[in-house]
């Protein structure tokens, strides 16, 4: 387009130049000046045309090009109107009617009253901590608040016109913190303690309903007011204590359970105080012969309830044993000597026999602490009592 315009301008100039020659002569300077002006115009027009051709390769931002939809960043009219209809609802919970609002440990859940396709109530909003505030559309809802294992659910109606009032829910619950000691006041490592909480009432089968298990010490557990059956386990052998604890609404009950147990470390040694011998299998038996603990270690450690036990060590097809007593809170070591001489029997001064593999039965028959049986002397029977009569059986001597 620019080149065509330049060509027409040159032709027009040539015609006018010829006319000017015929009418009046022009100087050489004027002619040269006119030619320079014409070529300058042609050069500018050529540059403009080249620029226009170059920009044709790019898309022009005119009205024909579709711009990004800016309304994607703005809420639709329906959502704007819905947000304008949201109502502020404030909720608080108390452990008892007389206590103040609970400021921690609460879990709030707001559900729609209409069940979804899966048959469950859709969750609308939730919050954790203390008191809660929600923005809800006018309508009906179910609000659940829980404190540990205690909880309560209430129906909530949000009005479209009236200002919503603060809703207060009463849990009728309290807290429980559990701990334990060994003996009078020996502290127990926290990782060796575990508590289980059961309901106080037994079921038809005699079992209690489990409320919460594997409760760690010094942990605040929220519970509904009532009585609970607590099972405390120290170690993993037989140190178990049970107790019933009352939980009052609005109060925290701190309970410390006293275990009648101790931590015992076993060693098989050649001499007293020497190093423990490896590759030793251990069995710990009660005074009744029941196995309560087993281990394969040079020096195993077990927590045992107070009482009398027998430690049996097996090493290289040889068996060694020792009786010992556990006192509550008295953590100690029990050494079994490989060269330990069996004590002499007090009655006949005979050395004790080496125990075979079935030690519990032999230990019961050869227990040096067993009390001798008491006997009473009966008078000798007469001849008439011994002689049979009429072929019948003789009378019993008892």
Predicted confidence (pLDDT) per residue in 211-268, tens digit: 999 999 999 999 999 999 999 999 999 999 999 999 999 999 999 999 999 999 999 9
Query: Is pLDDT above 90 for 390?
Result: no
In this structure, are 146 and 207 located in the same domain? no
Whether 129 is covered by a domain: the verdict is: yes
Extract the tokens encoding 186.
Answer: 């020996």
* pLDDT score for 362: 35
**Do 301 and 230 share a structural domain?**
no
Confidence of residue 369 (pLDDT cuts 50, 70, 90): very low
Q: Quote the CA–CA distance of 139 and 213 in Å, as a whole number.
A: 39
- Highest mean pLDDT pick, 57-66, 277-286, 340-349: 277-286
CA distance 2 to 14: 19
Same domain, 162 and 180: no
The reply to whether 269 and 352 lie within a common domain is: yes
225 lies in some domain: yes
137 compared with 73, residue with greater pLDDT: 137
Total domains in the chain come to 4
Confidence (pLDDT) at 342: 38
State the pLDDT at residue 317: 86
Q: Which helix (H) or strand (E) holds 256?
A: strand 252-259
Residue 118 lies inside a defined structural domain of this protein:
yes
Tell me, what's the pLDDT at 154? Answer: 95
187 and 251 belong to one structural domain: yes
Chain centroid, CA 165 distance in Å: 37
Give ∠ CA 341-343-348 in degrees, rounded to 5. 135
Residues 103 and 121 in one domain: yes
Q: What is the pLDDT of residues 84-125, one digit of tens each?
A: 688 999 999 999 999 999 999 999 999 999 998 999 999 999
Domain termination residue (choose one: 153, 170, 187): 170
The C-alpha atoms of residue 316 and residue 280 are separated, in whole angstroms, by 8
Would you say residue 143 has pLDDT above 50?
A: yes
* Local structure of 156: helix, strand or coil: strand
Total count of residues recorded for the chain = 398
The residues, ordered by sequence, that sit 6+ positions from 100 with a Cβ below 8 Å of its Cβ are: 94
CATH number of domain containing 229: 2.60.40
The whole-number pLDDT of residue 150 equals 95
> 78 in a domain, yes or no?
no
3-state secondary structure of 205: coil
Domain-located, residue 384: no
Same domain as 278, residue 251: no
Whether residues 182 and 253 share a domain: the answer is yes
For the record, the structure tokens of 366 come out as: 């050869």
Considering 152, 170, 188, which residue would you say is the last residue of a domain?
170
CA distances to 76, 83, 154, 168 from 138, in Å: 20, 11, 16, 19
My answer on whether 226 and 134 are in the same domain is: no
List the CATH number of the domain containing 111.
2.60.40.1120
**Do 132 and 199 share a domain, yes or no?**
no
Query: Do 180 and 165 share a structural domain?
Result: no
Q: Is residue 61 part of a domain?
A: no
318 and 361 belong to one structural domain? yes
Of 190, 225, 259, the residue at which a domain comes to its end is 259
pLDDT over 50 (residue 142): yes
Separation between Cα atoms, residue 129 and residue 98, nearest integer Å: 20
Q: Does the residue 276 lie in any domain?
A: yes
- pTM for the model stands at 0.62
Q: Domain range for residue 181? A: 176-259
Q: How confident is the model at residue 49 (pLDDT cuts 50, 70, 90)?
A: very low
What is the percent of the chain with per-residue pLDDT over 90, rounded to a whole number? Answer: 55
The arithmetic mean of pLDDT across residues 49-55, rounded, is 46
pLDDT of residue 130: 94
96 inside domain = yes
How many CB atoms neighbour CB 226 within 10 A? 16
**Is residue 230 classed as helix, strand or coil in its secondary structure?**
strand
Res. 79: pLDDT tops 80: no
Q: So what's the pLDDT on residue 45?
A: 47
More confident residue, 43 or 351: 43
Residue in the block written with tokens 């931002």: 61
């Amino acid at each position: 387009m620019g080149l065509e315009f330049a060509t027409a301008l040159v032709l027009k100039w040539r015609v006018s130049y010829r006319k000017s020659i015929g009418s009046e002569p022009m100087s050489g300077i004027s002619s040269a000046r006119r030619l320079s002006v014409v070529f300058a115009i042609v050069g500018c027009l050529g540059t403009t045309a080249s620029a226009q051709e170059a920009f044709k390769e790019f898309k022009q931002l005119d009205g024909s090009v579709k711009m990004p939809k800016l309304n994607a960043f703005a809420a639709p009219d329906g959502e704007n109107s819905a947000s304008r209809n949201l109502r502020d609802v404030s909720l608080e919970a108390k452990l008892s009617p007389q206590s103040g609002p609970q400021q921690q440990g609460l879990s709030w859940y707001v559900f729609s009253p209409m069940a979804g396709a899966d048959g469950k109530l859709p969750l609308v909003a939730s919050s954790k901590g203390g008191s809660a505030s929600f923005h809800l559309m006018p309508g009906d809802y179910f609000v659940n608040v829980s404190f540990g294992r205690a909880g309560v659910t209430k129906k909530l109606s949000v009005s479209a016109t009236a200002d919503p009032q603060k809703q207060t829910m009463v849990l009728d619950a309290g807290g429980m913190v559990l701990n334990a000691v060994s003996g009078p006041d020996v502290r127990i490592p926290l990782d060796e303690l575990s508590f289980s909480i059961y309901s106080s009432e037994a079921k038809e089968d005699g079992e209690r309903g489990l409320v919460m298990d594997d409760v760690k010490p010094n942990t605040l557990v929220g519970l509904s007011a009532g009585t609970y059956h607590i099972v405390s386990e120290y170690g993993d052998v037989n140190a178990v204590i049970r107790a019933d604890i009352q939980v009052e609404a609005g109060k925290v009950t701190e309970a410390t359970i006293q275990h009648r147990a101790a931590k015992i470390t076993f060693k098989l040694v050649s001499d007293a105080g020497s190093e423990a011998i490896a590759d030793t299998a251990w069995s710990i038996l009660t005074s009744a012969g029941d196995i309560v603990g087993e281990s394969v270690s040079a020096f195993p450690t077990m927590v045992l309830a107070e009482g009398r036990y027998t430690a049996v060590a097996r090493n290289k097809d040889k068996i060694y044993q020792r009786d010992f007593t556990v006192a509550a809170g008295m953590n100690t070591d029990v050494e079994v000597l490989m060269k330990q001489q069996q004590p002499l029997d007090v009655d006949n001064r005979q050395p004790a026999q080496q125990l075979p593999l079935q030690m519990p039965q032999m230990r019961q028959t050869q227990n040096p602490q067993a009390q001798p049986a008491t006997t009473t002397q009966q008078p000798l029977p007469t001849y008439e009592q011994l002689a049979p009569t009429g072929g019948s059986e003789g009378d019993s001597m008892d």
